[in-house]
Amino acid sequence: MTTAVPPALVAVMGPVESRLREVLDAETRRWATVDADLVAPLEALARFVLAGGKRLRPAFCHWAFVGAGGAPDDPAVIDTGAAFELLHAFALVHDDVMDGSDTRRGERTVHVEFDAAHAGATWRGESRRFGEGVAILIGDLAEVFADRLMTGAPPAAFSIWNELKIELNVGQYLDVLGTARGGTDLATARRIARYKSGKYTIERPLHVGAALAGRLDELSDPLSAYGAPLGEAFQLRDDVLGTFGDAARTGKPVGDDLREGKPTPLLAIARERATGPDAALLDRVGRPDLGADEIAAIQAQFTASGARAEIEATIAALTDEAVAALDAAPLGPGAIDALRDLATYVASRDM
Per residue in 274-289, pLDDT (tens digit) is 999 999 999 999 998 9
Q: Are residues 250 and 258 in contact, defined by beta-carbon separation less than 8 angstroms? A: no
Q: What is the C-alpha to C-alpha distance for residues 121 and 103, in angstroms, rounded to an integer?
A: 22
Count of all residues that appear for the chain in the document: 351
Q: Which pLDDT does position 1 carry in this prediction?
A: 47
Q: Could you give the percent of the chain with pLDDT greater than 70?
A: 99
The helix/strand/coil state of 6 is coil
**157-165: Cβ within 8 A, 24+ apart:** 157/80, 157/208, 157/211, 157/212, 157/216, 159/211, 160/204, 160/207, 160/208, 160/211, 160/216, 161/83, 161/208, 163/204, 164/199, 164/200, 164/204, 164/205, 164/208, 165/87, 165/200
Domains of the chain: which residue ranges? Answer: 7-348
Q: Confidence band (pLDDT; 50, 70, 90) for 245? A: confident
Partners of 203 in the β-ladder: none
Structure letter (DSSP) for residue 108: E
More confident residue, 52 or 143: 143
- The rounded Cα 342 to chain-centroid distance in angstroms is 15
Residue 271 buriedness (CB in 10 A; 0-12 / 13-18 / 19+): buried
Per-residue model confidence as pLDDT tens digits over 152-183: 999 999 999 999 999 999 999 999 999 998 87
Give the contacts of 214 (CB within 8 A, at least 6 positions apart). Answer: 68, 154, 156
Q: How many CA atoms lie within 13 A of 94 on its CB side?
A: 20
Residue 2 pLDDT level (bands cut at 50, 70, 90) = low
Q: Which of 9, 97, 118 is CA-nearest to residue 48? A: 97
Report the predicted TM-score, pTM, of the whole model to 2 decimal places. 0.95
pLDDT of 233 above 80: yes
Residue 131 confidence (pLDDT): 98
Residue in 133, 60, 21 with CA at minimum distance from that of residue 342: 60
Question: May I ask the CATH architecture of the domain 7-348?
Answer: Orthogonal Bundle (1.10)
Mean per-residue pLDDT over the chain, rounded: 94
Residue pair 187/268 in contact (Cβ under 8 Å)? The answer is: no
Find out whether 234 and 264 touch, Cβ atoms under 8 Å: no
Q: Largest Cα–Cα distance of the chain, in whole Å?
A: 64
Q: What pLDDT is stored for residue 64 in this prediction?
A: 98
